[in-house]
């Protein structure tokens, strides 16, 4: 079955996820959709110093939005900020240094942000990683899961109250079409069993993001949630984590602007706000979150178990009294 899923996914990809796929899809775009000003609206973008996140931050800054760049590396963040400010002429671009793999730090950041800022209109969960080896973060969580799933979960969950009181609030998750080859696996979130295949762990985390988006949409009707696939985009993540794929695809990969297009459309356009919350997008259109006959749908019990496990993990952190948050003896999940 997984061979079937991988083959269908790759064939789909060659037609749709490439630069040509974008060019074909973009013929149906309405250019008026992005003819908006978002002065006074604020946007948080994780991983905003590189690739799709940076192109998104640039596009939003050009439309006048206040941009909060959440990055882990200060130098890279400052360099990107300078570029964005210079090219857009918008000085409302702020940097927050947070490592999304450090769950406790993500939560501390979100709590501090809520105290400092009166509103947040759009949260874009873009930062992501594909790791080769199984490593743990300070809390004992496997790092791919910690970054791609737990970081997204705790940041979003913590910011929901702030988003809820802001006008036209939206949450966007940059997932991946790679998730189509995975069914949610609820019995091994930390990838403790068997061989650690970083590519499949990444795809599993991306499936988790899509499930989270659907669940959040049901639980929070005031906020518009969406997840999306950017296509195959020429970014450092692809060249470093999948060098052979990067080499093989070469010029067929999308530019970062093409990869960011649907993120920007979901963040800015009125048309996106009219779509149903919780949907998975590709090239400004809702697309199925499952391949035909791939048996990747989860039961209500599996989804409930997944959500409960995330809530428990977050609860361990959130139950720590403030005084202990920065102490060397951090909560250990495992």
Task: For ligand NAP, give the closer residue by CB, 65 or 128.
Answer: 128
Least distance between ligand NAP and beta carbon 24 (Å)? 18
Is 47 a binding residue for ligand NAP by CB under 6 A? The answer is yes
Among 99, 139, 261, 283, binds ligand NAP (CB under 6 A): 99
Is 72 a binding residue for ligand NAP by CB under 6 A? The answer is yes
Among 16, 50, 121, 262, binds ligand NAP (CB under 6 A): 50
Among 84, 93, 233, 294, binds ligand NAP (CB under 6 A): 233
User: What DSSP state is assigned to residue 229?
Assistant: E
Phi first, then psi: give them for residue 175, nearest 5 degrees.
-95, -145
**First and final C-alpha spacing in the chain:** 32
Is 73 a binding residue for ligand NAP by CB under 6 A? The answer is yes
Quote the CA–CA distance of 207 and 204 in Å, as a whole number: 5
Encoding tokens for residue 304?
């409930």
Q: Print burial letters for 280-290: b (CB count within 10 Å at least 16), e (below 16).
A: bbbbbeeeebb
Least distance between ligand NAP and beta carbon 162 (Å)? 20
Tell me if 71 sits within 8 A of 77, measured CB to CB: yes
Among 13, 65, 169, 230, binds ligand NAP (CB under 6 A): 230
Is 21 a binding residue for ligand NAP by CB under 6 A? The answer is no
Q: Print burial letters for 26-61: b (CB count within 10 Å at least 16), e (below 16).
A: eeebeeeebeeebeebbbbbbbbbbbbbbbbbbbbb
Among 40, 89, 118, 236, binds ligand NAP (CB under 6 A): 236
> Looking at 5-13, 97-105, 108-116, 275-283, which segment touches ligand NAP (CB under 6 A)?
97-105
Least distance between ligand NAP and beta carbon 175 (Å)? 7
Active-site annotation holds for 117: no
Among 16, 42, 90, 147, binds ligand NAP (CB under 6 A): 147
Tell me if 196 sits within 8 A of 133, measured CB to CB: yes
Task: For ligand NAP, give the closer residue by CB, 128 or 278.
Answer: 128
Beta bridge pairs of residue 8: none
Annotated active-site residue in 17, 22, 153, 202: 202
Of the candidates 126, 100, 121, the one whose C-alpha atom is nearest the C-alpha of residue 48 is: 126
For 77, 246, 330, the CA distances from 15, given in Å and listed in that order, are: 34, 17, 47
Catalytic residue positions, numbered: 202
* Interacting residue ranges for ligand NAP, rule: CB under 6 A: 47, 49-53, 71-73, 76, 99-101, 126-129, 147, 174, 176, 229-230, 232-233, 235-238
């Amino acid at each position: 079955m997984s061979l079937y899923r991988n083959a269908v996914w790759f064939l789909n990809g060659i037609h749709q996820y490439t630069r040509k796929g974008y060019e074909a899809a973009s013929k149906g775009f309405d250019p008026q959709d992005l003819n908006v000003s978002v002065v006074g609206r604020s946007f948080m973008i994780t991983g905003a110093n590189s690739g799709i996140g940076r192109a998104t931050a640039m596009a939003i800054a050009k439309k006048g939005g206040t941009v909060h760049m959440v990055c882990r590396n200060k130098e890279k963040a400052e360099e990107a900020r300078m570029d964005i400010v210079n090219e857009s002429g918008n000085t409302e671009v702020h940097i927050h240094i947070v490592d999304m793999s450090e769950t406790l730090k993500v939560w501390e950041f979100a709590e501090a942000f809520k105290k400092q800022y009166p509103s947040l209109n759009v949260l874009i969960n873009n930062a992501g990683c594909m790791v080769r080896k199984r490593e743990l973060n300070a809390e004992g969580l496997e790092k791919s899961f910690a970054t791609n799933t737990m970081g997204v979960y705790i940041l979003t969950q913590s910011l929901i109250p702030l988003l809820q009181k802001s006008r036209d609030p939206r949450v966007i998750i940059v997932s991946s079409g790679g998730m189509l080859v995975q069914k949610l696996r609820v019995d091994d979130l930390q990838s403790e069993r068997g061989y650690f295949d970083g590519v499949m762990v990444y795809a599993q985390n991306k499936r988790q993001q899509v499930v989270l988006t659907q669940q959040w949409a049901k639980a929070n009707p005031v906020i518009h949630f969406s997840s999306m696939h950017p296509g195959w985009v020429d970014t450092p993540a692809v060249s470093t984590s999948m060098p052979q794929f990067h080499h093989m695809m070469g010029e067929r990969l999308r530019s970062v602007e093409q990869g960011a297009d649907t993120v920007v459309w979901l963040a800015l356009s009125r048309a996106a706000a009219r779509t149903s919350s919780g949907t998975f997008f590709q090239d400004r259109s809702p697309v199925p979150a499952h391949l035909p006959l791939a048996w990747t749908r989860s039961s209500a019990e599996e989804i409930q178990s997944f959500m409960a496990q995330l809530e428990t993990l977050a609860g361990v952190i959130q139950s720590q009294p403030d005084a202990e948050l920065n102490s060397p003896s951090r909560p250990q999940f495992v």
